A and B are shown apart, each in its own frame.
Chain A
Amino acid sequence: AQSVTQLGSHVSVSEGALVLLRCNYSSSVPPYLFWYVQYPNQGLQLLLKYTTGATLVKGINGFEAEFKKSETSFHLTKPSAHMSDAAEYFCAVSDQDSSASKIIFGSGTRLSIRP
């Protein structure tokens, strides 16, 4: 079975600073990995996803994530934070159980941006 761990429930960075949100996963099969963003009182929006191929995945709003199999990680980064990046971010992995297809979500990381 798959699982996802997001390190740090709350991350705070200054505007213009590097954003790094950590995600580690466990999977017995090649994973399918996602990052979603959620703004207050809204649904989740897909930021980016890794399927196969290139391990560095570029998403919307300047975010990117790198799949590192040796470290079982899929950390999300952005070179320069904007105030509009303040939101909650969820890492997820697909469940490859043949009897039920589910996506497993991490517990989320709240990103705050300091002026």
Chain B
Amino acid sequence: DGGITQSPKYLFRKEGQNVTLSCEQNLNHDAMYWYRQDPGQGLRLIYYSQIVNDFQKGDIAEGYSVSREKKESFPLTVTSAQKNPTAFYLCASSIWQGARETQYFGPGTRLLVL
């Protein structure tokens, strides 16, 4: 089955610790995205990557880092500089159909601070 997988489902972070959230897709999509979801705020874009070895900051990139060494993988690191990391993190990938793209989402990772 083709799809997007995120792991782990739940992740705990201690103060001052960096943690990495995994996102893998086998849909052969070029573009991948990371969103943060907080209650009542919808989705906010953290980082996105249109192609391997390239990525761009989204609206709330501070305290986060990403890499895109492989087309299938787009891991997100939540660094100690992110002072309020507790949230639900969603990864997405997208495909262009004609002149437009459609995004497909993973199941999400809930990050909690101990």
Please give the distance in Å from B53's CB to the nearest CB on chain A.
17
Q: B1-43 CB contact bits vs A (8 Å, 1 = yes)?
A: 0001010010000000000000000000001000100001111
Residue of A nearest to B4 (CB): A43
B71 contacts partner chain A, Cβ-Cβ < 8 Å: no
A82 to B101, CA, bound (A): 30
B105 and A9 within 8 A (CB): no
B105 and A51 within 8 A (CB): no
The interface on chain A, measured as residues whose beta carbon lies within 8 A of the other chain's beta carbons, has a size of 22
B105 and A94 within 8 A (CB): no
Q: Tell which of B4, B9, B45, B110 has the most Cβ of chain A within 10 Å.
A: B45
Residue of A nearest to B6 (CB): A43
* Contacting residue for A34 out of B9, B58, B102, B110, CB 8 A: B102
* Contacting residue for A107 out of B40, B104, B105, CB 8 A: B40
B100 and A90 within 8 A (CB): no
Please give the distance in Å from B23's CB to the nearest CB on chain A.
11
A61 contacts partner chain B, Cβ-Cβ < 8 Å: no
B105 and A36 within 8 A (CB): yes
- 10 tightest A-B CB contacts, nearest first: A43-B105, A107-B42, A44-B105, A105-B43, A32-B100, A43-B107, A43-B108, A108-B42, A43-B106, A105-B42
Give residues in B with beta carbon < 8 Å to A. Answer: 4, 6, 9, 31, 35, 40-43, 45, 48, 50, 56, 58, 88, 90, 92, 94, 97-98, 100-108, 110
With A43-B90, A43-B106, A105-B42 given, name 19 new contacts (CB 8 A): A34-B102, A36-B105, A41-B9, A41-B88, A41-B110, A43-B4, A43-B105, A43-B108, A44-B105, A45-B105, A51-B98, A90-B42, A94-B101, A101-B50, A101-B94, A103-B94, A103-B101, A107-B40, A107-B41
